[in-house]
Structure 1
């Protein structure tokens, strides 16, 4: 095992899998089943040498995800992508009602930082010294240790409550991109193709496989590049660049959650990957 790793703690969209209120076949059989359920998208950056780890996003599934890290390791910081519930609500587990942790750094962009500090339940964590709210600047590094830095970069998303960022996790040997939420590949400050070519591993938005998944929702109101859109956008990539890509943040309707599906197989045939919970990537 390498000293430094990124570990996948979950791969689903904010509602998880199964999803609250879903009576469709995709979720119906999971409620009372031993069949594998999936946790909400998040990753950990782990320094095994110092036994420290950092989270990118802290989800409603935090208590299960925290248990996936060795019990003698120390939570040393949390980086937030944006203010949709699946990405920050686990902060509440850090307070006096549950873990009562002390002075955990929480990193966020200016609007997200304001959102946290003006949200009464979360601000109470600051007042109680459970967390410390720290600001980020787009494209400016945060040094975690002598080997690893984290760099936020702005991306277009439904920014009703905050801006949205992806993160570059940078080490001497490898660069990993974590980008679970975006409206479209077309309006990024840095072209997605350059991002793929310039980095080693990318965990990217795979929320929906196609535009036919939601029966009673207007998908234009919740924009994401579908996996099929990504196939088209990335069609000129060679196999070495395609294999860098892992789809994550999968909606409960997305058949990439079901390994026996045609869609799952199609991703693999096209040379891409699907993120797996508990998967580790060496840095």
Structure 2
């Protein structure tokens, strides 16, 4: 391949990557290193061209190399600073799969960022810009899970061919691969099979307070649902014992199936907590005051 063809080929690849980036498409195996590999290829090709070219072409390619090198250094530093991680979830219902790009950082509280890419064959992915998820967890509230555990990656469920549900620590999250399903209110109505609007946070808090009162009165069988977690009060008259049955939606919610002793409003944590549970002492259930 002569020098002119090499430069044209390099320019064509660069243009293709630029157009893909602007359209929201990415070559997935390049994501962990960003554009370092394409930049390195540009640098090497220009170095070879400079070595083989005449004096005029040599100086022009050297200038190009001097431009690319600092860009590589800055881009590499940004990748190191952002520290993105990646994981992939395959759909058992179709050839679709989702690649999750996530990072987290702490400044008194921990912020988690999740971005999603839909892909069919695993080579090229389309970023779902309107489906990104952000969660902020204060230090006193942190459940001790890693970033994938906070989102519930290991317990994600494909509820349709193009919808995946995550039992996240701060409530159920859904990611829709199809644009016509990306409206959260619409998808919620479709999943519930009803056109009834979703409950407000104040309504949920009222239900929790009512449940606490019913449990104190030893009412047996009183049931509510909070973020996909079903809570049922139980009372055994013979043993004079009361407890709460906890059942998560599809047994894959953020709080696993178990029994807890009570729900308390913890002002320090800013959450209603399920306490004295089978698997762990306490679980955050819902924010106080609808925050």
Please tell me whether Structure 1 or Structure 2 has the larger radius of gyration of its CA atoms: 2
Tell me which interval the TM-score lies in, with the shorter structure as reference length: under 0.3
More strand by share: 2
TM-score normalised to structure 2 length = 0.27
More helix by share: 2
